[in-house]
Chains A and B, each alone.
Chain A
Amino acid sequence: MNFQHDVVIVGSGLAGLRAAVEVGARADVALLSKVYPTRSHSGAAQGGIAAALGNEEPDSWEWHMYDTVKGGDFLADQDAAEVLAKDAPRAVYELEHMGVPFNRTAQGTIAQRAFGGHTGEFGKQPVKRACHAADRTGRVILDTLYGEALRKGIKVYQEFHLLDLMTRDNRIAGVLAYELGTGEVHRLQCKAVLLATGGFGKVFQTTSNCFANTGDGVFLAYKAGIPLEDMEFVQFHPTGLHGLGVLLSEAARGEGGILRNGRGERFMERYAPTLKDLAPRDMVSRAIAREVQEGRGIDGRDFVHLDLTHLGKERLAEKLSDITSFVRIYLGVDASKDLIPVAPTCHYMMGGIPTNLDGQVLGATGEVFRGLYAAGECACVSVHGANRLGCNSLLDLVVFGRRAGKKIMDDLPHLQKTVVPEGAEKEARTRIEKVKSRTKGEKSSALRTELQKTMTAKCSVFRNRKDLSGAISTVRDLLERYERVCVDHKGSRYNTDLVEALELDSLLHLGETILVSALAREESRGAHSREDYPERDDQHWLKHTLVEKTDKGPRLFSKPVRITRFEPKPRVY
């Protein structure tokens, strides 16, 4: 089919929905999602959304901005961090006005709690900044924005998998999509495309991410010639449920939870004397990895304990009921009595598609790619720098999703539909037919498992040249083997076998961009920690990495960091 719209938004998580609500009835907008919209992974966000409301204790957007910049190890573009922190209170009030059921203080205002790296007076002490609805904040915001989209009657193409971007002369012409239900390839022609396709944690074996998080939008932008920014910065959340990687929110520590090693020691006191268990995620994950390396894991094994036993049943039920139920269901553990085994899990991608403050996608020379926008985890504004603070993600989604929507509305009168040549979908159709018609070859699951194991073993919390180089050859070998990938199912209805094979193309290329960017950066900054270069090196590396797809393989270059208010200084907590 050939569909016509003004605007196509790919992804129905918070960034996509917020942008869609902004464009709303004022233009012909369509929302494309590979799942039912309410299944989007924003709904798995637990702990909260950051905003200096000052409802519990004094707070200011400047402190929030400072925390964001310092949390990001001074790699964040400070103009972006300023937009984020300054706009946060408005964004949260707006969500409340839309109906988000935030928890309340005794005065009836939005309740706030402590979170990792959130401080008052520029790092002096922890501050309560995280607005929340128990430990399902992402879920209720997703539900609320989904309701807003229904109210506005926004057209949704659900269970449509993004196949390609249609471009012509460095302008967007539309997207190609594969309909899961029928197996049809559709063209959606439009003036503007917003990519809001989320993260790609499925590159790793142990991750809090959902199966849908395969980075299709990021890969297709890369394929279309957009260089990807800061891909080496992958966040490992310190408290994944051991073995499963299921997220246990930082809110557990925000509410008073403590990490303990095999000796029962509160080891974070040694690593972050002021913030302790509420240090930023990269530092806590490194501390856990270090305790394990030095034999102080639980029974000498590869995990530590999260201790919530002193919080009491009532507080667990009111504020942390989802994570309490996760540990009960998956481990048979009673959080009010037992310690919870946790280990770092791949959680969030700081890097992605480079954009300006209005979500416009930037090409290799920093020029705007006409008609193409990106927002949310798939984008790199860069607001999170080398390490994102907890609760800044939901905030990023609604602040920059809205800005992208506004910019699209401003730009629409000046954007024309670009004529798509007949047969634009031929390449995509051929790609699908090639995979489906192969009778012999390798299953995508085998290759994917090898990729995920390699990434987790060689490119996690600590990295080094030898491991990264080895992993690059493994992934390049997998990319060659991908040419022989085949599927069991040849039918056209819900061919999830085929979709998984298509997704693997994204995962493999994104894995490669992470590895080459990580190998190039010979320093340790934020979530990128090199055993062979343990110090931060501002003289050589206070810059963003860019990786561009070329016929000869990924090409690396860089661009400067925008520093406005806070000069880089040592990062202690």
Chain B
Amino acid sequence: MELQFRIFRFDPEVDSAPRFQNYRVQADPWERILDCLNRIKWEQDGTLAYRMSCGHGVCGSDAMKINGRCGLACQKLVKDYEGAEVVLEPLPTFKVLRDLIVDLDPFFEKVKAIRPYLICSKAAPEKERLQGHEDNLKLNEVIRCILCACCTAACPVTSQNERYLGPAPLVWAFRYIFDTRDEKTSERLEQLDSPDGAWGCVNHFECTRVCPKEIPVTKSINTIKREIQKKIRGK
């Protein structure tokens, strides 16, 4: 089938303003939007720029806005766009570096700010630390995060408040707060007890809607809020 694409183009080296460019692509229904992008780049127009790597939704490189919704181009199938024009734009909120490529450095800085590593001062045992099966299961959903930034780009709050940590860093914070092996639970909760932390979230649920790994993002943030109330404000 033939698909009609309208793609955001901008090269700050030469363009004074962004523009859209149209392309037509022949594709099979089961192919991915990423396959179409590759066909455009390889067969029609090598100047088109976007990121990609694994091609099956585990590395998080090809996040972009697809018909108004943030998602991974490698997870969207042609069959779901039959008859419609496909509009591809860079992830909102972030600075465009070229075409569909955005600057994710500020995003990764916020991930770094939550200290994404286990903090444990006790000497490690000779073998593994013990952890209950049920305790481990609490992390099962949040560890699916691949840092694609779809949630953060889609969140209405991040575009209003650039200091807000955003959904993905909060998901990563959840991963350590609820890890029974981590010793800095209170410190981590205190760090998030601010309008730029967990309270920045006002339940728009956009993050949850767009998450390509189907993580209950908003629910996880609300769990953090409850934990803050219980352990920090409740004291």
Identify the A interface with B (CB < 8 A).
Answer: 35-36, 38-41, 43-44, 53, 89, 92-93, 96-99, 101-111, 133-134, 136, 139-140, 143-144, 146-148, 150-151, 181, 210-212, 243-244, 246-247, 318, 321-322, 325-326, 329-331, 443, 445-446, 449, 487-489, 491-497
- Whether A493 lies near B11 (C-beta < 8 A) is yes
- Complex Cα distance, B141 from A321, in Å, reads 10
Q: Which residue of A lies closest to B53 (CB)?
A: A210
Residues of A contacting B30 in the complex (Cβ-Cβ under 8 angstroms): 243, 330-331
Additional 10 contacts, C-beta under 8 A, given A39-B59, A148-B117, A487-B46: A41-B54, A44-B59, A89-B127, A93-B124, A93-B127, A96-B128, A211-B54, A318-B140, A494-B98, A497-B47
Residues of A contacting B53 in the complex (Cβ-Cβ under 8 angstroms): 35, 39, 41, 210-212
Partner of A38, one of B46, B50, B146: B146
Interface locus among B129-137, B159-167, B188-196, B217-225:
B129-137
Partner of B46, one of A144, A147, A211, A443: A443
Q: How many A-B residue pairs have CB under 8 A?
A: 173
Interface locus among B37-45, B81-89, B197-205, B227-235:
B37-45
- Whether B77 lies near A330 (C-beta < 8 A) is yes
- Complex Cα distance, B58 from A212, in Å, reads 13
Q: How far is the CB of B175 from chain A (nearest CB, A)?
A: 8
- Whether A143 lies near B98 (C-beta < 8 A) is no
Q: How far is the CB of B10 from chain A (nearest CB, A)?
A: 10
- Whether A43 lies near B13 (C-beta < 8 A) is no
- Whether B117 lies near A99 (C-beta < 8 A) is yes
A sample of 6 inter-chain contacts (CB < 8 A) reads A40-B59, A44-B54, A101-B143, A103-B133, A322-B58, A494-B49
Residues of B contacting A322 in the complex (Cβ-Cβ under 8 angstroms): 58, 144
- Complex Cα distance, B43 from A105, in Å, reads 52
**Does residue B19 face the partner (Cβ distance < 8 Å to A)?**
no
**Does residue B6 face the partner (Cβ distance < 8 Å to A)?**
no
- Complex Cα distance, B130 from A105, in Å, reads 10
**Does residue B106 face the partner (Cβ distance < 8 Å to A)?**
no
**Does residue B112 face the partner (Cβ distance < 8 Å to A)?**
yes
- Complex Cα distance, B126 from A111, in Å, reads 17
- Complex Cα distance, B136 from A101, in Å, reads 7
- Whether A443 lies near B58 (C-beta < 8 A) is no
Residues of B contacting A110 in the complex (Cβ-Cβ under 8 angstroms): 128
Identify the B interface with A (CB < 8 A).
Answer: 11-14, 30, 32, 41-43, 45-47, 49-61, 75, 77, 97-99, 101, 104, 108, 112, 115-118, 120, 124, 126-133, 135-137, 139-140, 143-144, 146-147, 175-176, 179, 181-182, 214
Q: How far is the CB of A185 from chain B (nearest CB, A)?
A: 17
- Whether B59 lies near A41 (C-beta < 8 A) is yes
Partner of A109, one of B42, B104, B130, B146: B130
Partner of B146, one of A43, A92, A102: A43
- Whether B143 lies near A147 (C-beta < 8 A) is no
- Complex Cα distance, B58 from A143, in Å, reads 12
Q: How far is the CB of B139 from chain A (nearest CB, A)?
A: 5
| List of 10 A-B pairs having minimum Cβ-Cβ separation, nearest first | A488-B46, A99-B118, A445-B42, A147-B117, A108-B130, A497-B46, A97-B124, A489-B47, A210-B54, A39-B59
Partner of B57, one of A211, A212, A329, A443: A329
- Whether A98 lies near B118 (C-beta < 8 A) is yes
- Whether B179 lies near A101 (C-beta < 8 A) is yes
- Whether A139 lies near B58 (C-beta < 8 A) is yes
Residues of B contacting A109 in the complex (Cβ-Cβ under 8 angstroms): 127-128, 130
- Whether B147 lies near A38 (C-beta < 8 A) is yes
- Complex Cα distance, B104 from A36, in Å, reads 9
Residues of A contacting B140 in the complex (Cβ-Cβ under 8 angstroms): 134, 318
- Complex Cα distance, B135 from A495, in Å, reads 46
- Whether A108 lies near B132 (C-beta < 8 A) is yes
Residues of B contacting A445 in the complex (Cβ-Cβ under 8 angstroms): 41-43, 46
Residues of A contacting B112 in the complex (Cβ-Cβ under 8 angstroms): 150
Partner of B132, one of A40, A104, A134, A212: A104
Partner of B13, one of A106, A146, A325, A492: A492
- Whether B131 lies near A39 (C-beta < 8 A) is no
- Whether A136 lies near B117 (C-beta < 8 A) is no
Partner of A326, one of B13, B42, B56, B116: B56
Q: Which residue of A lies closest to B101 (CB)?
A: A494
Residues of B contacting A318 in the complex (Cβ-Cβ under 8 angstroms): 137, 140
- Complex Cα distance, B144 from A331, in Å, reads 21
Residues of B contacting A244 in the complex (Cβ-Cβ under 8 angstroms): 56
Q: Which of B12, B43, B115, B129 has the most CB of A within 10 A?
A: B129
Residues of A contacting B128 in the complex (Cβ-Cβ under 8 angstroms): 53, 92-93, 96-97, 102, 109-110
- Complex Cα distance, B31 from A243, in Å, reads 10
Q: Which residue of B lies closest to A98 (CB)?
A: B118
Residues of B contacting A246 in the complex (Cβ-Cβ under 8 angstroms): 55-56
Residues of B contacting A140 in the complex (Cβ-Cβ under 8 angstroms): 143
- Whether B59 lies near A488 (C-beta < 8 A) is no
- Given the contacts A134-B140, A493-B12, A488 and B47 also touching, CB distance less than 8 Å: yes
- Whether A489 lies near B46 (C-beta < 8 A) is yes
Q: How far is the CB of B174 from chain A (nearest CB, A)?
A: 12
Residues of B contacting A497 in the complex (Cβ-Cβ under 8 angstroms): 41, 46-47
Q: How far is the CB of A210 from chain B (nearest CB, A)?
A: 4
Q: How far is the CB of A129 from chain B (nearest CB, A)?
A: 15
Residues of B contacting A211 in the complex (Cβ-Cβ under 8 angstroms): 52-55
Q: How far is the CB of A201 from chain B (nearest CB, A)?
A: 11
- Complex Cα distance, B12 from A144, in Å, reads 36
Residues of A contacting B46 in the complex (Cβ-Cβ under 8 angstroms): 443, 445, 487-489, 497
- Complex Cα distance, B60 from A139, in Å, reads 11
Residues of B contacting A325 in the complex (Cβ-Cβ under 8 angstroms): 57, 214
